Amino acid sequence: MQVRIVVTGASGLIGQALLGALGAAGHDTAVLVRRQPGPGEALWDPAAGTIDTGVFDGAGAVVHLAGAGIGDKRWTPERKDVILGSRVASTTLLSRTLAGLGGPPPVLVSASAIGYYGDRGDEELTETSGPGSGFQAEVCGAWEAATADAEGAGIRVVHLRSAVVLSPRGGALQRQLPLFRAGLGGRLGSGRQWFSWISLPDEIGAVMHVIGEPSIAGAVNASAPAPVTNREFTAALGRALHRPAVLAVPPFALRVALGRPLADELLLGSARVLPARLLDSGYRFRHATLDDALPALLS
């Protein structure tokens, strides 16, 4: 069934891919933007607390992806405020606005991340696992809590806890490719930390799946069913590129280059996340393993 879907954060890697997939599936889309809106767009300003509510007329779903980048700059106190504030302010505004509508869209898919679980070593993590500690866990907890008004109004809210999204067009994989193609890739630290990932096509597939499954609400792990260690990821990427990947980046070098908080949580932390709810609800992954995903993504 074709529906009208409102999207925030549509200029990012996931947002652009989602708009393309929704259009290909025959859905109508509208995009919330912070600049002068064009066709198919509407204005909002989370910092000022304003939003053009007309964009929600007749909408069947809202997908909220907006938020400042978490891994592109050092986590100074000021940057941490931007990361947290951008997520909480935008989600709170959206949630309160939807709750106040006479006929709101029935479902809100609100982005979150597997950072919710923190650094958990070898523990297998599903949606029933509790929150961890650290900055990412703090951000994700506050981010998810900001949808309370929408949930209280009876809107079905899905918190999509995304793993690292793999695509050569952006994100972590794009940044790694030049080094690996030059034969200079290698593990981070010991390489024993668990690395949970999802291909960009499956990230988009997960969003569309939860929109269309009315029984799904609450946390959903958007993560491939075969997480790997960082050492295993390094080896798989080297194989896919037909390049050696035997080097190692010591922890101190990562901490000097990126700052200890970011390096320790994003690159050296361990999260072995499983997509229990997606699998239980019948979602079929296009790329269930890295050996499925990397050749397809890099071809």
Q: Is 131 left (phi over 0), alpha (psi -120 to 50) or beta?
A: beta
Position 255 in a domain: no
pLDDT at 217: 98
Instruction: With a cut of 50, list the residues of the chain below it in pLDDT.
Output: none
Contacts (Cβ under 8 Å, ≥6 apart) of 58: 4
Position 118 in a domain: yes
Position 261 in a domain: no
- Strands 228-229 and 4-8, bridge-based pairing: unpaired
pLDDT at 3: 87
Question: Each residue of 36-76: pLDDT tens digit?
Answer: 999 999 999 999 999 999 999 999 999 999 999 999 899 99
Long-range (24+ apart) CB contacts under 8 A made by 82-86 are: 83/139, 84/138, 84/139, 84/142, 86/46
Position 231 in a domain: no
Helix, strand, coil tally for the chain in percent (to 5): 40, 20, 35
pLDDT at 259: 96
Position 58 in a domain: yes
Residues 159, 275: Cα–Cα separation, whole Å:
13
Residues 240, 185: Cα–Cα separation, whole Å:
12
Contacts (Cβ under 8 Å, ≥6 apart) of 7: 15, 18, 19, 22, 29, 30, 31, 32, 62, 63, 65
Helix (H, G, I), strand (E, B) or coil at 117: helix
209: domain CATH number is 3.40.50.720
Position 86 in a domain: yes
Helix (H, G, I), strand (E, B) or coil at 190: coil
- Please say whether the beta carbons of 169 and 13 come within 8 A: yes
Of 234, 229, 11, 265, which is closest to residue 118 (Cα–Cα)? 265
Position 242 in a domain: no
Question: Each residue of 194-228: pLDDT tens digit?
Answer: 999 999 999 999 999 999 999 999 999 999 999 99
Contacts (Cβ under 8 Å, ≥6 apart) of 297: 166, 167, 168, 173, 199, 200, 287
Residue type, 207: V
Task: Please give the model's pTM, rounded to 2 decimal places.
Answer: 0.96
Q: Looking at the 3D structure of the chain, how many domains does it have? A: 1
Full domain range(s) for residue 71 = 4-167+196-224+273-289
Give Cα 94 distance to the centre of its chain.
18
Beta bridge partners, 165, equal 198
- Please say whether the beta carbons of 105 and 63 come within 8 A: no
Average pLDDT, the chain: 96
Position 143 in a domain: yes
Q: How many CB atoms lie within 10 A of CB 252?
A: 11
